[in-house]
Amino acid sequence: MHGYPTVYLLLGLWVPFCLVAFATMRPQQAALFALLGGVLILPERRGFDISGLPALGKLELSSLGALLGCLVFQTRELIRGRAGAGLEVVLLLAIPFSLATALTNRDPTGGAHYWFPGLRPYDAAGIIFRDLLLLGVPFVLGRTLFRTPESLRLLLKGLIAAALAYSVLVLWEARMSPQLNQYLYGFGQHSFKQTRRFGGWRPMVFMAHGLALSVFLCAAMMAAIGAYRAKLKILRMPAGSVAVYLAVVLLLCRSLASIVYGAVAAPLLLVARPRIAGLAAAGIGMVVLTYPVLRSIDVFPTQTLIDSAASVNELRANSLQTRFDYEDTLLDRARNRIWFGWGGFGRSRYTDDSARALVSDGYWILRLGEQGAAGLGLYFVLVLVPIFQAWRAIPRCPNRNDASLLATLSLILAIQALDTIPNALFNHIPLLMAGAVSGLAVTLPRQARKPKKVVESDAGSEPPSVPPPSAPTLLELAKGKTRGANRRSGGLR
């Protein structure tokens, strides 16, 4: 075991903490504590290796704690949200897909510098278990717990409040260098060489990378702008002031991609109608969906992007060129087993002449190589379909503020999905957002179809107006005369 005792102390106590949270808090607050709090607080690159199971790190333990807490203390919420009846039903396909991955990789693979044994059917259980915890649990909890206008506001406010609290640590690292993980846990979670950017330090705090932190802060800033449009207050502070503050903190993170994301999204959320913001999110979703196809057939304008990056910073252009070169090599490797991939253990990241694993920065190419087109499609369904659901639902929302907040959440999800093209899927926050967007896209338009409740008037107030009686029709008059004649004839008898 590496690091201070605090590493395994916090990891070991997180599931009990989650159980206490679900027993004492509202289910939405407890879910945010378990999932979002786990991402922000727990150490990276450490976990428990249990025989027969994949390693249980911060993401697996936070999902496991949230699942157990919801099953033990909030079963009624899962039933009300019809857990398993939404878009998450596609996760059932993970079982045959994972089995196919294991069965099609039973042969060993190797080269001059490496050797991997073949997979066993047992290895499919590890793939299913990981997908369940990293994709399934956050999505299901997001869809079942955050499905009302009140829970939508709670989700955005929770994201903003977490970013405000975290910003104190971010500002410290931006000034003093990213050392908090070393101080608290006894190790550095990433290469220290990558923390120097644009003449300053790029903070990481306790997250996997500075890029992960900057994407999180970008999402929080966008949420604050959406709250400003909806006239909400954040911790009794004006949402506009909070958004400006988070924008400054984002700039100090010195991550160019996230700054560009925020610069593009902020005007949309400030000025555009909710329908336009939802359309922009759908457009980004289409880019994410088509990028792997365009790269596979070599028609994506990679050189244009490299030239544009070179006009800003030559170092960034070289980094982008390296990423595209690695993608080309990894794509060639993935094409050999395009449908179900090469499986885990790094089998997809070695070529016959490579002495070390190729770097797979983008989550899409990593998932394509490990689980093939089937596994990548499963991920796209969970992350991208909710964006298109929201695009269709926004015009049908009866409340304009609800529509604006749904558009904000949808655009946040689209930006996070877009970031998995050049970068890794650092945590399961995008899956929590995807589940919430999917559930809200179904429930918010139905608010208009609910019948209005009749409220009794208070004493002394004016009684409710009663509509005047309508004039009788000829048919009703004829029936009345007939009944009167029958009564008279009955009386003579």
Radius of gyration over alpha carbons of the chain, in Å? 28
Binning pLDDT at 50, 70 and 90, where does residue 324 land? confident
Q: What is the pLDDT of residues 146-194, one digit of tens each?
A: 999 999 999 999 999 999 999 999 999 999 999 999 999 998 888 888 8
Mean pLDDT of 424-432: 94
- pLDDT, residue 371, reads 93
Binning pLDDT at 50, 70 and 90, where does residue 413 land? very high
Residue with tokens 């050392």: 179
Binning pLDDT at 50, 70 and 90, where does residue 355 land? low
Q: Which two tokens stand for residue 70?
A: 């919801």
Q: 339 or 482: whose pLDDT is higher?
A: 339
- pLDDT, residue 448, reads 57
- pLDDT, residue 192, reads 82
Residue with tokens 């005369």: 481
Mean pLDDT of 75-80: 92
* pLDDT at 475 > cutoff 50: no
Q: 54 or 223: whose pLDDT is higher?
A: 223
Instruction: Give the whole-angstrom CA distance, residue 15 versus residue 13.
Output: 6
* 75-79, 127-131, 188-192, 224-228: least confidently modelled range: 188-192
Q: Tell me what the pLDDT averaged over the chain comes to.
A: 87
Instruction: Give the whole-angstrom CA distance, residue 393 versus residue 402.
Output: 11
Q: Which two tokens stand for residue 373?
A: 């087109």
Residues of the chain with pLDDT > 70, as a percent, come to 88
List, in order, residues 6 or more apart from 128 with CB less than 8 Å away.
Answer: 94, 95, 98
Q: What is the pLDDT of residues 269-295, one digit of tens each?
A: 999 999 999 999 999 999 999 999 999
* pLDDT at 455 > cutoff 70: no
Residues of the chain with pLDDT > 90, as a percent, come to 62
- Return the closest-CA partner of residue 382 out of 144, 148, 149, 86: 86
- pLDDT, residue 194, reads 80
Binning pLDDT at 50, 70 and 90, where does residue 493 land? very low
Binning pLDDT at 50, 70 and 90, where does residue 3 land? confident
Mean pLDDT of 460-472: 49
Instruction: Give the whole-angstrom CA distance, residue 461 versus residue 265.
Output: 49
- pLDDT, residue 358, reads 72
Binning pLDDT at 50, 70 and 90, where does residue 208 land? very high
Determine how many CB atoms are found less than 10 A away from the CB of residue 107.
9
Binning pLDDT at 50, 70 and 90, where does residue 481 land? very low
Domain ranges in the chain are 1-80, 85-145+273-446, 160-271
Binning pLDDT at 50, 70 and 90, where does residue 412 land? very high
Determine how many CB atoms are found less than 10 A away from the CB of residue 208.
18
List, in order, residues 6 or more apart from 155 with CB less than 8 Å away.
Answer: 28, 32, 146, 409, 436
* 109-118, 251-260, 390-399, 477-486: least confidently modelled range: 477-486
- pLDDT, residue 400, reads 93
Mean pLDDT of 367-377: 94
Instruction: Give the whole-angstrom CA distance, residue 243 versus residue 269.
Output: 12
Instruction: Give the whole-angstrom CA distance, residue 351 versus residue 357.
Output: 8
* 8-22, 369-383, 386-400, 460-474: least confidently modelled range: 460-474
- pLDDT, residue 491, reads 43
Give the global pTM: 0.87
Instruction: Give the whole-angstrom CA distance, residue 21 versus residue 33.
Output: 7
Say if CB 393 and CB 151 are below 8 A apart: no
